[in-house]
Amino acid sequence: MTVLEVSPTTGRPVSARPPGARPRRSPLRERFPGLALPALIWYAVFMIGPVVAIFVIAFLRWPGMLETPSFAGLDNFSVVFADATFWAALGNSAVQIVVGLPIMIVLAFLLAFYVVQKPRGHRVLRYILFIPALISAPATAMVFYAMLNPDGLVNGLLAPLGLAGNAWLADPSTALGAIIAVELWSGIGYSAVLIAARLDGVDTEIVQAARVDGASDWRIAWRMYWPIARDFIGVVTMLQFLSLLFNSAQTVLLLTQGGPGTSTMTLSYLIYSKAFVETDLGYSQAVGVVLFVLGLLGMWLIRRTLRATH
């Protein structure tokens, strides 16, 4: 007589053993993640460690790396929330996300949809779309600085329309828009390549059947491809959200350094400026805590929004 062991997940018998025999032990890799241990250590030291450091330094009064820190309690947060520069940076970052992210994802999806229709030269087009991701931030900044300065390419193209002469990066009304344009140029192609890789898995027979029934490209894109790729697009959206929120400092540093005034000051650049220019580490990491919380809330909101559209 044997006793059947039943899987707790599937409810199906998985093995047979004689009465009184000890149950089989699970393999070592199921009880101890030995192969994953180096990655877990790396993650704990270089990922979790810096996050813990942010929260610790935010409660310190630390005027420079060579100075001795002292406990400040909530003083850094009080200074941050009373600082007009912080609120300007928060507003600029919000505009950057609310305006830039939807434009980036929608245009990337439409580009990806065009690519997966396999037009002539579609393989080359995929490489072209990926090129902005391969260009360094300083090189990108140099190109856009040459385009956006008063004697640059943009004003040259607008001259016949009587719209030339604007200093795009030096005008408070256009500087933030110029920064957003740089971020869009850097992110749209990269996102389109990622989304196209997911759209390639859509069954072409279903698409052809929809075309036979008279469905337009616009309807196929938004009624067929978008629902199928929604979860993956959500992942790409979160990645680009984090990039816009945390990595805009390099673009601002290279092109405007937060100016004119505070018109292009973002939260990530404010952290850099306070930490490495003004050497106020406590203030900078207090802003870092705010940025960390906003990042978590933003990812939750993106995930919730995409799920609500199912």
Task: Round to whole Å and give the CA distance between 162 and 79.
Answer: 46
- SS3 call for 13: strand
User: Are the beta carbons of 232 and 212 closer than 8 angstroms?
Assistant: no
| Local confidence band at 45 (pLDDT 50, 70, 90 cut-offs) | confident
Instruction: Convert the pLDDT of each residue in 254-296 to its tens digit.
Output: 999 998 999 999 999 999 999 999 999 999 999 999 999 999 9
Instruction: Convert the pLDDT of each residue in 170-198 to its tens digit.
Output: 989 999 999 999 999 999 999 999 999 89
User: Are the beta carbons of 156 and 164 closer than 8 angstroms?
Assistant: yes
Cα 105 to its chain centre, rounded Å, is: 11
Say yes or no to pLDDT of 54 above 90.
yes
Average pLDDT over residues 19-24: 56
Instruction: Convert the pLDDT of each residue in 68-116 to its tens digit.
Output: 899 999 999 999 999 999 999 999 999 999 999 999 999 999 999 999 9
Instruction: Convert the pLDDT of each residue in 116-137 to its tens digit.
Output: 988 888 888 888 888 888 888 8
Per-residue HEC secondary structure of 187-198 comes to HHHHHHHHHHHH
Task: Round to whole Å and give the CA distance between 111 and 123.
Answer: 13
Cα 282 to its chain centre, rounded Å, is: 26
β-strand partners of 60: 71
| Predicted local distance difference test score (pLDDT) of residue 209 | 86
Q: Which of 241, 244, 237, 243 is nearest to 198 (CA)?
A: 237
Say yes or no to pLDDT of 50 above 60.
yes
Instruction: Convert the pLDDT of each residue in 285-310 to its tens digit.
Output: 999 999 999 999 999 999 888 876 65
Measured over the CA atoms of residue 236, residue 240, residue 241 and residue 246, the dihedral's sign is positive
Buried b (16+ CB within 10 A) or exposed e, 222-231: eebbbeebee
Per-residue HEC secondary structure of 137-149 comes to HHHHHHHHHHHHC
DSSP 8-state assignment for residue 282:
H
Instruction: Convert the pLDDT of each residue in 236-247 to its tens digit.
Output: 999 999 999 998
Helix axes 281-308, 84-95, angle to 10 degrees: 30
Q: Count of H helices and E strands in the chain?
A: 16, 4
| Predicted local distance difference test score (pLDDT) of residue 254 | 93
Residue that wins the pLDDT comparison between 76 and 26: 76
User: Are the beta carbons of 62 and 281 closer than 8 angstroms?
Assistant: yes
